[in-house]
Structure formats: structure tokens, C-alpha cells
Amino acid sequence: MATLTTASPQSETEAIRLPPHSQDAEMGLLGSMALNREAIGAVLPVIGREEAEWLYQPGHQVLFGVLVDLYDAGHPIDLVVVKEELKRRNLLEQSGGVSYLVQLAESVPTWTNAEYYARIVRDKGLLRDLIRCSGEISASAYAEDEQASVLLDQAEQRLFEVTQRRVSGRASALRDLLKEIYAKIRPGEGSYLTGLPTGYTKLDDLTSGFQPGDYIIIAGRPSMGKTALGLNIAENMAIDDQRPVAFFSLEMSRQQLAQRVLCGRGRIDAHKFRRGMVSEEEKQQLGFVCEELAEVPLYIDDTPGMSVLELRAKARRLAQKSNIQAVFVDYLQLMHAPAYSDNRQQEISAISRGLKALGRELNIPIITMAQLNRSVEGREGHKPRMSDLRESGAIEQDADVVLLLHREEYYKRDDPSVQNKADLIIAKQRNGPTDDVPLMFDRQFTTFRNLSFESGPPGPQTYADDAPF
């Protein structure tokens, strides 16, 4: 065993220059992951598959990637499985060999500390990112190749990228988001339902609710209201039926989504709210709504550019901690799957398969918003079809239910007969009928309402133009 000696000035400098890292934390992290697959689910929201470089040792990075791949493929995980997978990929020696795998496992007192180890490793990795970023800024300044204003802008961008990586992107409870928003304000479920009720009676009648394990697509052209409809259904499940649900938004911030919930439930003009033109009476009304929504089990995650692997890991954690019963994703084409990034069609297919597998694994419906291509625009009547789903036929193939959202008023703004009306076309339902669901779109509150179907069990259907929400 080496003895400690007084460091010379030169060795002190070398020690200072050694990039920050924690060998013990990295070993504890990998040892935990190799002992229990649940540890990997706890680690992935902290260190994603694409962030393996936060581990300092190259061999540790390789082993981390293999463990995550095994986890994502649903394989059992133990030292034997990990060893065989490393041998199959010719990476065993690069990862330290069999003896090192055993050493990793023996270095861990309990795998339940995996998330704590991951946070240490992430923090060290962020420090290395900051050092690298500072070096790049310093080198650019010494070079004097650009004006100071340009260099400052580049420096801010580099630092912002490091700062963004620090954000863990965890889901926030609606109560916390409502508190933030309110502080800134200035003066029929039927027995025939076997799944989760959506709050839209004809849709529930045709689908019997969103079924556990189903992969459901809500598709439409931009500005049709896909996000609004998805959020309305999530609200109805969480608020009216008290079912815990998760809403992953890759397009809008969680504050914006919470504002929509607040304005929709408070019946406050969303545009007026954004402009800060809320009266004292309306503020008081919103205060009552905030109190009513404080305990609503709606969890909103707005991590941008999320991979399907990261989303699946977060959903698993929310299922364990909060017993979520539905997952909403807005929207599919904004996600990515790094392993297929060279081919967009294959990438979308991989994302679609991953989301469908998540629903089956957790036995909950996965509701995903998706874009339609431009074929709709040139078609007479502008009615969307399943073949309009953008970038991959795999979406149509994987989906158990495909809902196409259409608002004719988008194309005929001066026609009073179509104002505020929307059609939700059930274009595919693996285990039920297809039909059109008429809805009313209230632009003022960014909400969809029942237009014509009266609640009740399956049977003779009646319609009325002014049916209540």
C-alpha cells in the first residue's frame, strides 16, 4: 500500500488539474445497476443513456451503456447476464474483465443508494462540462477572432447549455405549478365504462373509455388543438375522476400548460390572462380554482428533446411513486431515438414501438399526440385520414386507437355553420367501432366540450345542440 507523502508544488498543480470525478461513486453506481434492474430505473432520470460521458472512466461508460441496453430490452440483470453481454459485444476486457465486475458488485452495500451515487457522478460530470466550457471561452477570447459582443453571445450560449444539463427535468405536481402562476396574477361516468373515462360521452361510449395497455394516437394538423384536447382529457381524468396521470410535453412549458388548466377550469379568457388584464373579481375566482385543483394528481414534465428511453424511465418512476394510470405525450415527432438518428422513418418506428411497449409494461393507456402531413391541405373537404400520419406507417400499425382531430372552421373562417365545431374521427379502433365524435371548441378558454351526445349507457343515442359539458 502506498504511503502518503508531502506533495511538491508541481504535484499539487497536477492534482488540481485532474478533472473532477469520483471513482467510488462510479463504482457504487455501476455495482448497484448490475445487482438490481430497479436501480437502473432510479438512475435513468438522473443520468440518461446519452449522458454516459458523465462517468469519467471510459470502461465505466461502456458498462453503463450495456446495462441500460439490457434494461431497455427487458432482460433480467445480474453479473452473469452482464458478463455474457459484454463478451458478446467483445467489450469485456474494455470494461475491466470478470474480476472487475465482481469488484463492482462487492463495493456496493445496497443497490438502493443508486440514485444518490448517480447524483454524485452527474455533479462531477457537470463540473467537467463547466471546465471544458470555460476553456473554450478562454481560448476564443485569447484568439481575438471575433468582436467582443459576438464572443459574449457565444459564451452565454455555452454556459446556458451546461446550465440546461443541470436541470433534472422531473415532473412537477399541478399544485406547485398553480402556486407559481397564481402568485404572478395581477389585478357522468356510466357502468358500461371498462377503461378510463375521457370526459367526452360519445367517445367514452364508442371506446368504453381508454383501455389499460392501449396505445392511442390523437393526430391532426398544426393549430387544430391536439395539445388542448390531450390536456383536456388528462384534466378530466385527473380532476373529475381523480386518476393520477402524467403529461409529458415536448412543445409547451409546464407553466403554459398549467395556465391552460387554470383558465379553462376558471372560465377565464386565456388571451386576457396572458396580457395581464385580469380583474380583481377574476383573480379571486382563480384563487378558488387554485384551491380546488391543489390536490389534483396531474404531473407535468416539460423536458425538451426527450428520448423514448428517458420517457419510459420517468414513466416507470411515476408509476411506482404516484401510481399513474395514464401517460400523455405531446408530441411523438418531437421525440428521438439516438440509435436510429440516421434514418428518420426508422427512428419514428422505434419511438412508436417503445411507447406501445411502455403501455403494455405498465398496463396503462399511452395517449400520444402526432402531426399529420400536408396532404390534408390540398384535399377537398380537408378531412384527415390515417394515411396522413407523418413520417412513418409504423404509427398507424402500432396504434390500438387512432383519433383524427379536424376543425373545418380553420379553413372556412367566415362560415358561421362551422364556427366552434370540431370532429374527432375514430379512424381506427382495434377492439371497437369507428365513428365521428362531434365536439365544440371554445377558443376563449382553449377547451373542447361535448357538443351533442347525452350521457348514458349504450343504446339509442339522442343529440342536442346545447348539451352541457
Tell me the angle at which helices 23-35 and 114-143 cross, rounded to the nearest 10 degrees: 140
Report phi then psi at 95, rounded to 5: -90, 0
DSSP state of 52: G
- Residue 337: predicted pLDDT: 79
Given CA atoms 137, 142, 146, 149 in this order, what sign does their dihedral have?
positive
C-alpha cell at 21: 470525478
Q: Which of 38, 51, 189, 251 is catalytic?
A: 251
Domains of the chain, earliest start first: 17-168 (1.10.860.10), 172-450 (3.40.50.300)
Tell the residue number behind the cell numbers 504511503, with chain if given. Answer: 3
> Coil, helix or strand for 308?
helix
* HEC readout, 335-398: CECHHHCCCHHHHHHHHHHHHHHHHHHHCCCEEEEEEECHHHCCCCCCCCCHHHECCCCHHHHH
Report phi then psi at 219, rounded to 5: -120, 155
| Per-residue pLDDT tens digits of the chain, which is 469 residues long | 343 343 444 444 444 578 889 998 999 999 899 888 888 888 888 888 878 888 998 999 999 999 988 888 778 888 888 888 888 999 888 888 888 888 888 888 888 888 899 999 998 988 888 888 888 888 888 887 777 767 776 777 677 677 666 655 567 778 777 877 777 666 644 446 788 998 888 898 888 889 999 999 998 888 888 898 999 999 999 988 899 999 999 888 888 888 888 888 888 887 778 777 778 888 888 888 888 888 889 999 988 888 888 888 888 888 888 899 999 998 888 888 777 777 888 888 888 888 998 888 888 999 999 888 887 777 777 788 888 776 667 788 888 999 998 888 877 777 777 788 888 889 889 888 888 888 888 887 888 888 754 444 333 333 333 333 2
Tell the residue number behind the cell numbers 382529457, with chain if given. Answer: 233
Q: Rounded to 10 degrees, what is the CA torsion of 127, 133, 136, 142?
A: -90
146 is catalytic: no
For strand 421-429 and strand 401-406, is the pairing parallel, antiparallel, or unpaired? antiparallel
Question: Do 129 and 107 meet the contact criterion of CB atoms below 8 Å apart?
Answer: no
pLDDT tens digit sequence for 160-185: 677 666 655 567 778 777 877 777 66
Tell whether omega for the bond before 411 is within 30 degrees of 0, i.e. cis. Answer: no
- Find, among 287, 264, 268, the residue nearest to 276 by Cα: 268
In sequence order, the 6+-apart residues with CB closer than 8 A to the CB of 364 are 212, 213, 319, 324, 325, 326, 327
Tell the residue number behind the cell numbers 434494461, with chain if given. Answer: 71
